Amino acid sequence: MQFTIAIDGPAAAGKGTISRAVAQDLGVAHLDTGLLYRAVGMKGGDPVAAARNLAPQDLEREDLRGLQAAEAASRVAVNPEVRAALVEFQRDFARRAGGAVLDGRDIGTVICPKAEVKLFVTASAETRAMRRWKETGEGSYDAVLEQVRIRDARDMGRADAPLRPADDAVVLDTTELSIEDAVAQARAVIQARLGR
Query: Can you give the C-alpha Rg of the chain in angstroms?
Result: 16
Annotated ligand binding at 99? The verdict is no
Count of C-beta atoms within a 10 Å radius of residue 105: 27
**Full strand arrangement of the beta sheet holding 117-122:** 29-32, 100-104, 4-8, 117-122, 170-173
Distance between first and last Cα of the chain: 12
Annotated ligand binding at 186? The verdict is no
The partner residues of 6 in beta bridges, in order of sequence, read: 102, 118
* Cα–Cα distance for residue pair 128/22, rounded to 1 Å: 21
Annotated ligand binding at 9? The verdict is yes
Q: Who's near 108: CB < 8 A, 6+ residues apart?
A: 6, 8, 115, 118, 119, 120, 165, 166, 168, 169
Torsion of CA 174, 12, 102, 161, to 10 degrees: 100
Annotated ligand binding at 98? The verdict is no
The partner residues of 117 in beta bridges, in order of sequence, read: 5
Annotated ligand binding at 13? The verdict is yes
Annotation: binding site for ATP: 9-17
Annotation: binding site: 9-17
